[in-house]
A and B are shown apart, each in its own frame.
Chain A
Amino acid sequence: MIRIDVDMDKCQHYGQCVFEAPEVFQLNADDKLEYVAEAPDEMLGDLEAAADVCPMQAILITKA
């Protein structure tokens, strides 16, 4: 499994990650980021891409 951590002190809810991995990241009705904390290994590429495009560099992806 892959573990997803978002530093919510850094996150400014720009939502760039949503475009790369919509299965994991979403903006809710108030435009705030919501995400799931675990994802299957085959999503590694998408999740790294989501971490890459985060303007605040708030997303940490680790292989559990």
Chain B
Amino acid sequence: MDAPLLIVGASMAGLRTAEGARRAGYSGPIRFLGAEEHAPYNRPPLSKELLQTPGHGHAEVAFPIRSALEEGVEWMLGRPATALDTARQVVTDARGDEHAYSALVIATGLRPKPLPIDGHGLTGIHVLRTIDDAVALRDSLRPGANVVILGSGFVGCEIAATAAKNGATVSIVTQSRVPLERALGPLLGAEMRRRHEAHGVRFFCGESLFGLVGDPAVERVILTSGVMLECDVLVVAVGSDPNTEWLQGSGLDVSDGVLVDGGLRAIGVDGTVHPQIFAVGDVARYPNPLFDDVARRVEHWNLPTETGKRAGQLIAAQLAGDDCEPLAAAGFAPLPSFWSDQYDAHVLAFGMTYLADRSELVAGSLDDECIVEYYRGDALVGVCGIGMRGAVQAYRSKFAVPARQ
């Protein structure tokens, strides 16, 4: 029997890749190898609905499995990959079992960065990436609990909003000047701070953790300024690292995620393309000609779907023995989009706002509904709205690959 299309990471990106390969005509066997025990699920509700609704779990966030994947698909879950041998075309899992592949998809995603100081084994310290993380955090977010969130990105701010709505006393500790500074810039960041503060959230900006007090559970945190905060629950939300340790020594370039070309095909440390190895989703690092030729990892929610569909096309062509070069050369220029719900603010953005050197309010008012444009030099690189969705959607057409000179 032919070796399967092996998808390492039973994730949204992995699922969309499998669907994309089927849609493009691949009818052979598919095997998913997943580190988590769960079939693919949608992560954004983990910081919102799932975090505030007792009893909600995998069933509420699982992606439906479409009919194209009902046959010929093997789910091997709870089995993290540990090594890749590109010469033998084999992946080894944590049990020591080997999995041969015809084509390989790397969809192992990210994991939260750990507490930046020594936690001394204290309990009450949380991160949020998986369903299991969300359920553990939910159980400790009781009304009246003192919740300290380290980090002010989307995950930290969404957890803060959910916890504040549920009656917790919430503090955000961040090195940034305003929350969401990198993604939304100073204007909208300051406005989001105002909205959080209106719901009782306290901010400690330009601050870091100095130490923890408690035994066996955390009771207080000490900041570098000397401020001491009561703390029953400490949430560490200071960004993520790509899960690429299992690829060390494989010959692939994994200096920051898996470097891929415009066809999402992995590039080796020697610069050669591996035509049967693909990376998709948060772990992939690729250039986007909408903006420039710098390869980046982009962690926005729509990109697992965009990269999965794209890789699926190339995989089907590769496994059918077709020439993939024209398809790969056609380029890949997905428009990143992200959204966030915090209180009654529905934030929707397109582009790469964090490439901007300035932002400008162009419609509405910040404390109500508004649109902010983001520029790098004279070039529009992003747009973000609170409300005003129709007008924000209309910006999609303003992002286009520049014509070659």
Hey, which bits of chain A sit against chain B, CB under 8 A? Answer: 12-16, 18-19, 27, 31, 45, 48, 52-53, 55, 57, 60
A18 CA to B337 CA, complexed, in Å: 14
Cα–Cα distance between A48 and B302 once the two chains are bound (Å):
14
Residue of A nearest to B44 (CB): A55
B16 at the interface (CB under 8 A from A): yes
Give chain A residues whose Cβ lies under 8 Å from the Cβ of B388: 31
| Contacting residues, chain B, for A48 (C-beta < 8 A) | 19, 66
- Does chain A have a CB within 8 A of B42? yes
B23→A31 contact, CB < 8 A: no
6 closest A-B pairs by beta carbon, nearest first, are: A31-B389, A27-B390, A31-B390, A55-B339, A15-B389, A52-B305
A-facing residues in B38-76 (Cβ within 8 Å) = 42, 44, 61, 63-64, 66
Q: Report how far A29 CA is from B323 CA in the complex, Å.
A: 47
Say yes or no for B120: interface residue by CB 8 A criterion: no
Q: In the bound complex, do residue B42 and residue A57 qualify as a contact, i.e. CB atoms below 8 Å apart?
A: yes
**Interface residue B348 (Cβ < 8 Å from any Cβ of A):** yes
Nearest CB of chain B from residue A37's CB, rounded to whole Å? 18
User: Shortest CB–CB separation between residue A16 and chain B, in angstroms?
Assistant: 7
- Select the residue from A15, A19, A55 with max chain B CB neighbours within 10 A: A55
In the assembled complex, the CB of B332 is this many whole angstroms from the nearest CB of chain A, namely 16
Question: Could you write out 18 A-B pairs with CB less than 8 Å apart?
Answer: A12-B339, A12-B346, A14-B348, A15-B389, A15-B390, A16-B302, A18-B393, A19-B393, A19-B396, A27-B390, A31-B387, A45-B23, A48-B19, A48-B66, A55-B301, A57-B61, A57-B63, A60-B64
Give bound CA distance, A60 to B387, whole Å.
Answer: 24
A52 contacts which chain B residues (CB < 8 A)?
Answer: 16, 305
B191 interface contact, C-beta 8 A: no
Residue of B nearest to A48 (CB): B66
B304, closest chain A residue (CB): A52
**Is there a chain A Cβ closer than 8 Å to B341's Cβ?**
yes
Question: In the assembled complex, which residues on chain A have CB atoms less than 8 Å from the CB atom of B23?
Answer: 45
What residues of B have a CB within 8 angstroms of the CB of A14 in the complex? 339, 346, 348, 389
Is B63 a contact of A27 with CB atoms below 8 Å? no
Closest Cβ neighbor of B387 among chain A residues: A31
By secondary structure, the A interface counts as mixed
The chain A residue with its CB closest to the CB of B63 is: A57
Q: Give the docked Cα–Cα distance between A41 and B44 (Å).
A: 30
Q: How far is the CB of A2 from chain B (nearest CB, A)?
A: 12
Give min CB distance, B137 to chain A, whole Å: 21
CA distance A12 to B337 in the complex (A): 15
Partner of B341, one of A12, A16, A57: A12
Chain B proximity of A7: nearest CB distance (Å):
11
A14 to B44, CA, bound (A): 14
Chain A proximity of B338: nearest CB distance (Å): 9
What separation, in Å, do the CA atoms of A57 and B60 have in the docked complex?
10
Chain A positions within 8 Å of B396 at CB level: 19
B337 adjacent to A16 (CB under 8 Å): yes
Taking a contact as CB atoms under 8 Å apart, the answer to whether A15 and B44 are in contact is no
A18 and B397 alpha carbons, distance in the complex (Å): 14
A51 to chain B, nearest CB (A): 8
B44 neighbours in A (Cβ, 8 Å) = 55
> Shortest Cβ distance from A63 into chain B, in angstroms?
8
Residues of B within 8 A of A16 (CB): 302, 337
Which residues of the partner chain A approach B390 to less than 8 Å between Cβ atoms?
15, 27, 31
With both beta carbons as reference points, the residue of chain A lying nearest to B393 in the complex is identified as A15
Bound Cα distance from A12 to B387, whole angstroms: 10
* Chain A minimum-CB-distance residue to B335: A19
**Cα distance, A54 to B346, chains bound together (Å):** 14
A60 CA to B388 CA, complexed, in Å: 25
CB-based nearest A residue for B337 = A16
A21–B8 CA distance with the chains assembled, in angstroms: 31
Cα-based distance from A13 to B389 in the complex (angstroms): 8
Complex: A46 Cα to B115 Cα, angstroms: 43
- Complex CA distance for A19 and B16, rounded to whole angstroms: 18
Could you tell me the distance between the alpha carbons of A27 and B340 in the complex, rounded to whole angstroms? 19
Give complex CA distance A13, B391 in Å. 13
Cα–Cα distance between A48 and B23 once the two chains are bound (Å): 11
